[in-house]
A and B are shown apart, each in its own frame.
Chain A
Amino acid sequence: MKVSYLLGLGLILVSRMVFADAVRQDSYIAFPSLNKQPNHQEDVLAIYGAVNHQAIEPLFRAYQEKYPNVAIHYTESNTRHLYEQFISLPNVRPDVMLSPAMDLQFKLANDGYALAYNSPELVNVPKGAHWRNELFGFTYEPIVTAINSDILAGDVLPQSREQLLNLIRNKNYLLDDKMGLFNIEQSGLGYLTWAYDGQQSRSYGRLLEAFGRHQARLYTDTSSMLNALLKGQIFIAYNLVGAYSYQWSQKYAWIKTIMPTDYTTIIMRTAFIPRDAQQPTLAKRFIDLLLSPEGQHVLANQSGITPISTKVKGPYSRDELSKLPHGIFRPIPLGLELLIQTDDAKKQLIYHEWDNAMFAEPNNLSQ
């Protein structure tokens, strides 16, 4: 009793720390096994993920109910940090990697770091949602824009990128230092969605110019951006993960979440088992659960993350998602196309463009 109480306290402390810290690196959370018998055999499943632990916890619970002897040690981190750590620390690799940065996950799988696993649960998910039985997509999430409606002051809520640009033009100096977006040089997900915008739309260049002119603030993760939005530090947050944004919109009515109607980028969170996983069997069971109707149901009902499966029902199911106003859904394909996002030369070009826009003197930009 005492031990679990202490652990529970530790959990709370950790989570506080996570939310308080805007530029966090790692946070470590242990979910002890459900078996309360003394001296029982306990296995540890180590999971590294760039998924909010509150969102993923219901899934861990479901796993532990099935396998009560397994403790889960979850390390939550930013997508790029996770990737770099995976490459640089080959001795500290998890049993399962979870991340929405599809390109980085794909690069690891393409480079042969992933274990092939022909999960029997693959039949439950669409065909394009896994690659080579190595990389498994398990969510279907829109990339959205969140707006603090206080800024509108009577204006209509913009629905597309074009309307967003109009709003920025109208509000002009009001939005100086009041817009937020991912720092693409530090967030893998930020880079992925930004580079994908570059492939999709002409408005990309004008958006970049607008963000640069108004000295947009840069963040490394969604939660800190949403916090800044809540506190009024920013009024517009561009390219957020939809799941978190919608949760905040439910809590705080003045925060509006928009799926741009010109096109809505869809990302998949992906999971893979590293080849040198310590507990491949436990990891395979986790993948099975993740893809199973049961696991997908947990996502759609408890995690608030839209699952990849079209069959499950729940408040966050794909059915419900498509009932919200949205544009053409443009899922980022889970395949070799993602290699372009990891190309160094391409990255340098995008960084160069980005740096020019974001860190140049306003005088230079206006020329």
Chain B
Amino acid sequence: MAKATTSIRRQLILMVATVLIFINVLALWSAHVYANRTAKESYDRLLYGSALQMAENINILDARVYIDLPVSAFETLALSTSDRAFYSIMNGQYQVLTGYKDLPNIPFTQLLQQSSEKEKFIPIYYEAMYRDEMVRFVALGKRLLEGDSVNDVFIIVGQTLDARRAAATEISQMALQFVTLFFFITLLLLLFVIWRVLQPLQTIKQAITERSSQELSPLDANVPSEIAPLLKSINYFMAQLDSTLNRLKRFTAEAAHQIRTPLAGLNSQAQNAIDETDEMLRQKQLQHILESSNLLTNTVNQLLSRATLTHRYQSHPFSPVSLDYVIKETCRDLVVWALEREVEIEYVGDIKATINGDEFALKQMLQNIIENAIKYSPKGGVVEVELMIVFEQSVPLIVLQIRDQGVGVSDQDKEHIFEYFYRSPDNFASGSGIGLSIAKDVAEHHDARFHLKDNQPTGLIVEVIFPQRKGLSYES
């Protein structure tokens, strides 16, 4: 039995989960980055807005700086309800005009540089520890013009980070909630899809399990096109199994019948012999018994040889076999037996051919065909055995012909001659009806074709055509 491999379902789920987790972690991380940036930008704008409102209310009159800070500047800061705020307004000589006097890390260098460049002031953002808390500051310059004199003041506004942190956390948490929800919904959907996709396999399994061991009709399941080939293979295999099984059933029934009939004959002949008082007749009857028993032995031998062959098919790998040598040897083995029946065997053909095959089986096949030919040859007849090369559409094929000069086989019988235990109705020669079937089995095992032709003027030609394939070689 094949080793149990990892389940497709588990692999799919694992892969899907991995990909999902990766995507979600990525989404969360970007949400976190985005949340921080958004919170920072929004609250920086508030800070800047507040500084701008303060700047707008700083004016100069008679070389005196007037600062009348608007409530709205502080109301803007108060939008972050739980943050401390600090501010300071200074002149270019670092003197604090109003507000906190000890703000840290004021970027004077940059402010003075902006101031000296006489261009528009741009806000400078920075963070610093102040009164035990991290504070985000914005520093902004404002140019005060009066007559020809130019005075710059600097506005510094700072706020602690609670509100931005809270905002960032809120956005992140919303993202987390969304991503979690998304994750589970996607996972559920994918699990459903996986279940749905693998369902046909389950259906097939179910259909097969539910069948009785005898039922081999094709499975009728509605499956997607990807699974259809599998179902087709299963059905093909089952059809094969079915036909094999049927053949086996028929064979067993036939074999039993074939053995029972001679046994019954033997039985009655033996009974007759016991009852017979005439010694001469009894001798004759005993002779019959012996012949029947021989025939039976022959039949059983053939059956055994078939069983042996079936076993060999499964256990013996093919090896190179010299076909011409095997044929000659078989002819030699049979020549004496043929002469007893006053039939000659003639080997014609002078090619050498090697194929990949089972020598024992091939020999069995040859023996059966030639025996058959001898059996149906008239006295003084000749059985010709020939190995030759025939070109079929310019492909060279090795062809073996066994020609006899017997009565031949009618076209109707040609269809059945290879069936097990088939005996032509007008055949009076003794035989088991297995020999040719075995021969055909062997030929099929070697992918060879059988072909029956009529001989002239009378007789049968059995043609075995070996396929053109690797391991086959010949020389004329």
Chain A interface (Cβ < 8 Å from any Cβ of B): 110-112, 131-132, 199, 333, 335-340, 343-346, 349
Contact = CB atoms under 8 A, between A and B. Distances in A.
A337 B75 contact: yes
Contact of A336 (B66, B85, B98): B85
Interface of B: 66-71, 73-75, 77-78, 81-87, 89, 97-99, 131-133
B95 to A, nearest CB: 13
Given A112-B131, A112-B133, A340 B68 contact: no
A213 B371 CA distance: 153
Nearest to A347: B98
Q: Which of A132, A199, A336 has the most CB of B within 10 A?
A: A336
24 contacts: A110-B84, A111-B84, A111-B131, A112-B131, A112-B132, A112-B133, A131-B81, A132-B84, A335-B78, A335-B81, A336-B74, A336-B75, A336-B77, A336-B78, A337-B71, A337-B78, A339-B77, A340-B70, A340-B73, A343-B98, A344-B98, A345-B67, A345-B68, A346-B67
Contacts of B68: 345-346, 349
B131 A337 contact: no
Contacts of A349: 66, 68
Given A110-B86, A131-B81, 6 more contacts: A131-B82, A336-B77, A343-B98, A345-B69, A345-B89, A346-B67
B69 A343 contact: yes
A199 B71 contact: yes
A333 B71 CA distance: 12
Contact of B98 (A110, A335, A345): A345
Contact of A340 (B71, B82, B83, B86): B71
Say whether chain A's binding surface is mostly helix, strand, loop, or mixed. helix
A63 B251 CA distance: 111
Contacts of A333: 78
B64 to A, nearest CB: 11
B69 A340 contact: yes
A60 B406 CA distance: 140
Contacts of A337: 71, 74-75, 78
A335 B66 CA distance: 25
A259 B287 CA distance: 150
Nearest to B81: A335
A336 B157 CA distance: 13
A339 B74 contact: yes
B363 to A, nearest CB: 103
B182 to A, nearest CB: 34
Report the 5 A-B pairs with minimum CB-CB distance, sorted nearest first: A345-B98, A345-B67, A336-B78, A112-B131, A335-B78
Q: Which of A111, A333, A345 has the most CB of B within 10 A?
A: A345
A23 B266 CA distance: 153
Contacts of B132: 112
B354 to A, nearest CB: 99
Nearest to B75: A337
A4 to B, nearest CB: 44
A199 B70 CA distance: 10
B189 to A, nearest CB: 42
A86 to B, nearest CB: 16
A95 B284 CA distance: 143
Contacts of A112: 84, 131-133
Contacts of B74: 336-340
A132 B82 contact: yes
Nearest to B98: A345
A345 B97 contact: yes
A354 to B, nearest CB: 15
A338 B71 CA distance: 9
A338 B84 CA distance: 12
A363 B84 CA distance: 46
Contacts of B73: 340
A110 B84 CA distance: 5
A112 B66 CA distance: 29
Nearest to A335: B78
A94 B1 CA distance: 88
A268 to B, nearest CB: 15
A132 B73 CA distance: 20
A339 B98 contact: no
B155 to A, nearest CB: 12
Contacts of B84: 110-112, 132
A340 B73 CA distance: 9
A333 B74 CA distance: 12
A349 B57 CA distance: 13
Contacts of B85: 110, 336, 339
Contacts of B81: 131, 335
Contacts of B133: 112
A53 to B, nearest CB: 32
B99 A343 contact: yes
A343 B70 CA distance: 11
A213 to B, nearest CB: 25
A333 B67 CA distance: 23
Nearest to A198: B71
B235 to A, nearest CB: 75
Contacts of A345: 67-69, 89, 97-98
A160 B157 CA distance: 39
Contacts of B99: 343-344
B427 to A, nearest CB: 113
Contacts of A336: 74-75, 77-78, 83, 85
A345 B81 CA distance: 24
Given A132-B82, A336-B74, A336-B77, A346 B131 contact: no
A346 B87 CA distance: 14
A345 B83 CA distance: 23
B158 to A, nearest CB: 11
